[in-house]
Each structure stands twice: as C-alpha cells, then as structure tokens.
C-alpha cells in the first residue's frame, strides 16, 4: 500500500493564536520549556539567571522586583526596600520615613506590583497603595537623603519621558488640606484662570516640568511650600509653572482608573482598567500633550504591560495579547486560551534577548519574534547585568523535559489513515519520544494510542490509525530540545471512500 507524506514546517512550531484555528493550519497547543525563533525553528528557552542576594531573600510571587536605575540598583519586596551592591549582590535594607515627620519610621503598605520612575539621585516607586520616594534636596550640601513613603495620597503609576515625570491614577483625596488652603489663598486672586483647586480623580494624569522635581512637591507639601515658593506671593513658582504650562494635568476621556503609564517613542501610553489612550507630545502653540484613543478594553492588571523602546505588549481585560508600535499601530496577537487562566501576571522585557517574559505564579510564557512559547521558570523582573540577562527568578531543580503538542490535522483528506512513521528533523543529546493522539470522528475526544522512541536517525514508528491526529513530542532534557528542520508524518490511506481520482503524493504545511 502506497505511503504519503504530511510535513509540518519549523515556521509553524509556536503556540496557536486562536483555538478556533482551522483544521491543518498547524500550530502548537503545548510548548513547554521551548520557544520559537523566526525562520529558525524551535529551540530551548534561555532561563534568566537568578541573582543570589546576600543575605538571601526568597521569591514570593510577584515579589521581590529588581530595578536598575542610573545611580542605584534597588530590590523591593511587598514590605521592604533594599539597595543592591552589583559586585557582591549584598543587599542593605533602607529605612523608610514619614514625610510629615522625618524622624518617624514608617512601613510600606499594600502588595501590588511595583512601577519605577528613575531620576538618578531621585526616584519614585508605586504599588497602587503607597508611593515610596527619594529626593535630592540636600545632596548638593553633602547631607544624606532619606527615603519616604506617602500612604495618604495614592498615585497608581508613573514613568519618565523626555525629561518629564508622568503620573496617573489619583486617589479622591489627593489634595491634602494644606494644599487646598494653598490654592484657596492664591488661585482666586491670581490671573492664572483657576477659581479654585481642581479635584483630581483616578482617570487623571499629570506631567511635571522638565527635570521632574516639582512632582514630589505634591506628595511632600512641606517641601513644596518652602522649597518652591519665593519670598513674595508674586514669586510663587508653582503658579508660574502652571501659567507657563510647564506642567499640567488632564482627565482621560473614559471612566475608570489609570493603572500604568509607559513611554513609547514620542508618546506616553496611558493604560487604564477600562480603556487605553496615547499622550502625544506637542510643542506648538505651547509645550503640552495631546491625546489619541487606542483601545476600549483596558488592561487586566498592573503587571500586564511589557515595555521596550520599540514596542509595548499588553494583556487586555479579556485576556487577549496586543502589541503597540511607536507609530501607534495596534495589533491583536491573540493567545487568549493560554492567558485566560493567569493570575496577577507580570510582563518583563529581556533587553539582551529582545523577548518578552509573561510570568505567572506557576511559570512563564515567552514572546519572541517567532511567536509564543513557555517555560517553567517564574520571573518577577529582569535586568541586563555584565552582559547577561539576570533577575529575580525561580526554576524547579533537576532535569526538566521539553514538550510540544501539535494542533489537529487530518492530512487534507477525510477518512481513516494509519500513521506509519514520524520523522523529527532536530533534537540533540537527549532522548526523544513521539506520542500520537488520534480520534475517528470530530465529535470524539482524542486518545493517546502509542508512545514510541525516536531512533538516532530521527525516526519513530507509532503505527496508529484514526481520522484526525495530534503529535506529542517530548525531549528528556529541554537544554537539548530543538527542531530546526521539520516534522514529517508518513501514512497510508486505509479508508478510501472519500477519494476520487489521483491522490497527491505530498501534503506540506
């Protein structure tokens, strides 16, 4: 009986974008501990090297997170902030103080994922409940700076963009009593145009002057009123900045809460829980920001945005993955079936590998230029260090297998076929097995009928019959798992009721 061939190309070996993909479109429904590379095939995932801190600190997902700033490397858990010595990985706990009483120590509240704004000697950290910040007010005088936490005025998020700090998502009681008095005393008698202070809300954003120092004044009124106010009312710098439009604020054109802001080219993307908007930097007639609507879905959580210089990816509130480019082109990538079960995901960007890591409490998905793969490694954050990708990560010990499972195929012909041989063009110094799942009609579930080894020439002989099939290929050690060629299924036609004329010798996907 004549044999025919059905080939699965290496370019197909990534997780399927949509579970409704048509028959024989051939993607993967499982891809564990391997990742695709565009035009190259399937390769082992490359784990982030887990930093060993001194003293040790345990990973308790999604904490701690590491941030590498211009002047400091910081490690922050849900409750504690540390500075990191990159040479020895020694960590030193930072005392946190009350900004209204600099002699009083305070604790960090909340358990949200941290966002980081880096201004060199000044920085800010947001977890959605509190703002941890360090100023550089006394640094020029050789005085050690303290780190403060504000748990009265909530700001959800912040980022740095072309010299300015953009913040968003403000608590209803953002204006403290002393700031309300400040505005009542000055705004009504000024020519700035305001008659009273403006109540911010959770869907507002604010941008600072160039340098960003004024942003801390709102969190630390004592600094704002003494450090930014001149000897006379007419010299009030904050009012002057407002009048000259050096700083500003605006509500987003949607209800909800701003949960993430991040730079992308000349824009800042404002991610909310109900919608997404781009702030577009303009200079005429005055320096300010305009707006462009992006998406009405919003994002699924604080960690659901991955940021690189050339691209953002985000998980929307319906658990679909999207991509935004600097020209504000928005593209849906899909992958809903894999992302829908994730709890509190964190997306990190690996600068060296140029890949996004979508981590959750049980592992990670890896988005490459070739598509989506997955791993068993949990990653809360990653930084480039000494020419390598390092971070806070956890990987099960011992030898880990790699597993892929193809989507459904019927070789392009209905009826019963018998798979005679499966050729795997790839693999390395590890044992490989092929399991065939089969069913005889589309209403039935798949059953695994055979699991056979792949010999050293790359062939397995499962001898399995059915109408529709899936292949499960297992590599005993993920470090040697690769398919840089193809998978070829050799089969015979057992049931020829649907065949008319000459049947083609080859079917290739």
* Alpha carbons within 13 A on the beta-carbon side of 404: 32
**Which pLDDT score is estimated for 268?**
96
State pTM to two decimals: 0.89
Q: Is the dihedral of CA 413, 464, 20, 18 positive or negative?
A: negative
pLDDT in tens, 319-340: 999 999 999 999 999 999 999 9
Window from 45-54, 163-172, 179-188, 407-416 with minimum mean pLDDT: 179-188
CA distance 15 to 36: 9
Q: Measured between alpha carbons, how far is residue 232 from residues 1, 180, 227, 496 in Å? A: 100, 19, 13, 96
pLDDT in tens, 65-92: 999 999 999 999 999 999 999 999 999 9
Reference 89, options 50, 60, 59; nearest CA is: 50
pLDDT in tens, 235-277: 455 555 555 556 778 899 999 999 999 999 989 999 999 999 9
CB proximity list for 20: less than 8 A, separation 6 or greater: none
The whole-number average pLDDT for the span 154-174 is 89
DSSP-derived 3-state class of residue 440: coil
CA distance 192 to 237: 12
Which H, E and C letters describe 139-150, residue by residue? Answer: HHHCCCCCEEEE
DSSP-derived 3-state class of residue 27: coil
For 33, the token pair is: 């501990």
Domains belonging to the chain, first-starting first, are 3-47+400-508 (2.60.120), 165-251 (no CATH)
CA distance 364 to 375: 5
**Which pLDDT score is estimated for 213?**
58
For 195, the token pair is: 């008659």
Q: How many CB atoms lie within 10 A of CB 38?
A: 11
Q: Is the dihedral of CA 84, 88, 90, 94 positive or negative?
A: negative
The whole-number average pLDDT for the span 435-444 is 92
**Which pLDDT score is estimated for 351?**
94
**Which pLDDT score is estimated for 27?**
95
Which H, E and C letters describe 9-22, residue by residue? Answer: EHHHCCECCCCCCC
177 or 398, which is more confident: 398
Q: To which H or E segment does residue 224 belong?
A: helix 221-227
pLDDT in tens, 266-315: 899 999 999 999 999 876 655 667 889 988 889 999 999 999 999 999 99
**Which pLDDT score is estimated for 231?**
41
């Amino acid at each position: 009986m004549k044999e025919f061939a059905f080939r699965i190309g290496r370019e197909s070996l990534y997780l399927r974008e949509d579970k409704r993909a048509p028959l024989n479109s051939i993607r993967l429904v499982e891809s564990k501990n391997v990742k695709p590379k565009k035009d190259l095939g399937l390769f082992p995932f490359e784990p982030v090297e887990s930093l060993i801190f001194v003293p040790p600190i345990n990973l308790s997902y999604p904490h701690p997170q590491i941030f590498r700033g211009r002047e400091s490397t910081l490690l922050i858990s849900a409750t504690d902030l540390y500075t990191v010595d990159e040479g020895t990985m020694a960590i030193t706990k930072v005392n946190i103080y009350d900004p209204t009483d600099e002699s009083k120590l305070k604790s960090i509240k909340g358990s949200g994922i941290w966002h980081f704004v880096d201004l060199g000697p000044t920085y800010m950290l947001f977890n959605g409940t509190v703002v941890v910040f360090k100023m550089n007010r006394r640094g020029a005088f050789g005085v050690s700076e303290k780190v403060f936490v504000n748990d009265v005025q909530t700001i959800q998020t912040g980022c740095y963009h072309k010299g300015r700090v953009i913040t968003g998502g403000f608590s209803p009681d953002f204006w403290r009593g002393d700031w309300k008095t400040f505005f009542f005393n000055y705004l009504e008698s000024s020519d700035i145009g305001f008659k009273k202070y403006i109540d911010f809300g959770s869907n507002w954003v604010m941008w600072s002057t160039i340098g960003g120092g004024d942003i801390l004044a709102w969190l630390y009124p004592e600094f704002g009123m003494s450090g930014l106010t001149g000897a006379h009312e007419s010299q009030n710098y904050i009012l002057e900045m407002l009048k000259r439009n050096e700083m500003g604020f605006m509500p987003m054109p949607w209800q909800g809460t701003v949960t993430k802001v991040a730079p992308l080219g000349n824009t800042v993307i404002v991610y909310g829980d109900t919608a997404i908007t781009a702030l577009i930097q303009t200079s005429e007639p005055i320096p300010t920001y305009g707006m462009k609507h992006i998406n009405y879905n919003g994002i699924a959580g604080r960690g659901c945005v991955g940021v690189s210089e050339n691209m953002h990816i985000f998980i929307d509130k319906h658990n679909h993955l999207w991509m935004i480019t600097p020209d504000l082109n928005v593209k849906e990538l899909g992958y809903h079936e894999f992302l829908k079960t994730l709890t509190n995901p964190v997306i990190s960007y690996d600068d060296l590998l140029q890949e996004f890591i979508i981590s959750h409490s049980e592992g990670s998905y890896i988005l490459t230029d070739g598509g989506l793969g997955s791993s068993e490694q949990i990653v809360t954050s990653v930084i480039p260090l000494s020419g390598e990708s390092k971070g806070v990560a956890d990987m099960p010990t011992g030898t880990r297998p790699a597993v892929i499972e193809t989507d459904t195929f019927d070789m392009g012909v209905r009826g019963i076929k018998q798979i005679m041989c499966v050729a795997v063009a790839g693999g390395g110094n590890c044992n490989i097995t092929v399991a065939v799942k089969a069913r005889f009609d589309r209403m039935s579930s798949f059953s695994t009928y055979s699991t056979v080894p792949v010999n050293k020439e790359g062939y397995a002989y499962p001898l399995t019959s059915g109408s529709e099939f899936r292949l499960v290929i297992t590599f005993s050690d993920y470090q040697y798992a690769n398919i840089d060629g193809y998978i070829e299924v050799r089969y015979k036609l057992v049931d020829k009721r649907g065949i008319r004329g000459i049947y083609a010798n080859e079917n290739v996907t």
